[in-house]
Structure 1
């Protein structure tokens, strides 16, 4: 184990649960674990762009970050989840935080992932499997990418609408409280969009959204030729 800026000699077994306020990342710097000193929660980040931004902020403030082996970080994540499952005070993240972190108890729900492989799922296995399959959508647009004359200018991955509907059905099928929280955070916040081939959109008939307004029902030109378009997501029920 080594710290950015500070070298620490310690056995991995000594970190049964991360010290409050500490940060951990692996050699690939694609995952970041923060043990929040205020809430007592383990907060996970699995998107490299977000991790890089946080790492720059930590470096600027001279805050130490422990760099550990990938397997060690996975063990720390498991220890956090084990602790959270027995902590009655644990609360799900606010909807506006969800896009940037990994939902507690999962490794795939949120921006990016913290899994070591396709079979690596968190304690909420059914919910996590839904998120994993959604992440593996073969026809998605990363931020800045263009396809079908559609450019993704948002900070989040934009998937084909068919993949989103499969995701919705999967979470609905799980039916747990956690599945509903993940579904609401993804579908009901108004932050995410999808794209598909459809008749030209003339306008919106109904709006809704937890954080920003999103169209819930579109008005189509039924005589127009189908074309690729971007759509808001219908809220999760």
Structure 2
């Protein structure tokens, strides 16, 4: 069975590429919303992220478990740095090519119903990388600072992001999403945070929410992004 957001990732890719229509070289070299990164860095990351997930899936279809990056974090960072300075046209073309390649390999996965094949990314399976790509595209669209914001996120994506990022909260917090009638708790609730689901997701993701969530006792301090779990040896 295919992961629920498979079609939604394709829609996110369309939205991302549409956002880049008219992007010029000066905008590429301009600052993104991420400290120390230009828009070119964000685009290089999104492009290579698609390539990386496609690579993991291709190997997994052959029952091969390979590292996310052979050279680890240093290789990832070097790829981004090497490609950040591409001109706008090249960024658009390479991003479109890698998005299409990723969707193509996922079609092979779907044909084999192989979503449960293990990958090293977050010690998960191919299916979990679909969710990860969904998050990456929508969150980094905001970071491009080209007019897209958390208000543009699909409600389902926002709710999924809250699920994923809930570990950032102290263990006495309840989140209430008034617009979608959802509630999340982290233990015995003493601190209540209320807002729209996109507001809550953006705040948890460290982005500026459309409306700051309401917390009578003050917004709690967030912990780190969910860590990568230790890799298990393949049985």
Query: Normalized against structure 2, the TM-score is what?
Result: 0.30
Computing the radius of gyration over CA atoms, which structure comes out larger, 1 or 2?
1
- Report which structure shows greater RCO (CA 8 Å, sep ≥6): 2
Higher-strand-fraction structure: 1
